[in-house]
């Protein structure tokens, strides 16, 4: 061991002498600065608790974002169907679904599309959008996302999203 270099336990600092006088006495350093293992575990635990609570709150907003996305896409498809009708003098074939907005259907005169910017996506829950002709309540058509349940007739957060509502 090097005699000119003391170990950290042997390091002393100078403190005030007795009764605050001029003389200095050696005061041992009990602990060098830093975090203990227990303090580090406590901080990690607090961070995990905060992260978990924020994560659960974010799920609520993810569901709201999916619903808003589906509603926006349904409205976009409804506008595109109206433009299709103005050009072709008929609505897209319900059997073919919304594909006629992107690709020209066989035997359709006056098609001037595509009527949407990109191919028809699935809804945010992975289901195909539905096209019904005629629509409910005397409407000429209805574009429908079946929502998270993937089935018609859902209620609350599982309700379908419709262009007719």
Query: Is 147 in contact with 160 (CB distance < 8 Å)?
Result: yes
What pTM value is reported for the model? Answer: 0.65
Distance, in Å, from the CA atom of 96 to the CA atom of 127, rounded to the nearest integer, reads: 15
Find the distance separating the first CA and the last CA of the chain, reported in whole Å.
85
Kindly list the structural domains of the chain, giving each domain's residue range(s) and its CATH number in brackets, ordered by start: 64-162 (3.30.700.10)
Instruction: Give per-residue pLDDT as tens, 9-38.
Output: 555 555 555 555 555 555 555 555 677 899
pLDDT in tens, 144-157: 998 888 878 777 77
pLDDT of 141: 92
Of the candidates 70, 145, 130, 136, the residue with the CA atom closest to the CA atom of residue 99: 130
Listed in sequence order, the DSSP H helices in the chain are 37-88
pLDDT in tens, 105-131: 888 888 887 999 999 999 999 999 999
Question: Over the stretch 66-111, which tens digit does the pLDDT of each residue have?
Answer: 989 999 999 999 999 999 999 999 999 888 889 889 998 888 888 8
Taking the C-alpha atoms of residue 130 and residue 145, their distance in angstroms, rounded to an integer, is 6
């Amino acid at each position: 061991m090097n005699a000119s270099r003391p170990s950290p336990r042997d390091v002393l600092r100078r403190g005030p002498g007795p009764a605050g006088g001029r003389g200095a006495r050696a005061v041992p350093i009990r602990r060098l600065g830093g975090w203990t293992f227990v303090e580090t575990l406590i901080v990690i635990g607090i961070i995990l608790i905060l992260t978990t609570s924020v994560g659960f709150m974010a799920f609520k907003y993810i569901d709201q974002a999916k619903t808003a996305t589906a509603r926006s896409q349904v409205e976009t498809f409804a506008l595109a169907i109206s433009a299709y009708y103005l050009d072709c003098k008929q609505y897209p074939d319900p059997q073919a679904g919304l594909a006629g907005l992107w690709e020209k259907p066989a035997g359709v005169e006056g098609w001037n599309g595509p009527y949407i910017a990109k191919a028809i996506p699935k809804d945010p829950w992975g289901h195909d959008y539905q096209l019904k002709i005629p629509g409910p309540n005397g409407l000429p058509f209805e574009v429908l996302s079946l929502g998270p349940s993937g089935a018609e007739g859902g209620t609350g957060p599982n309700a379908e999203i419709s262009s007719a509502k």
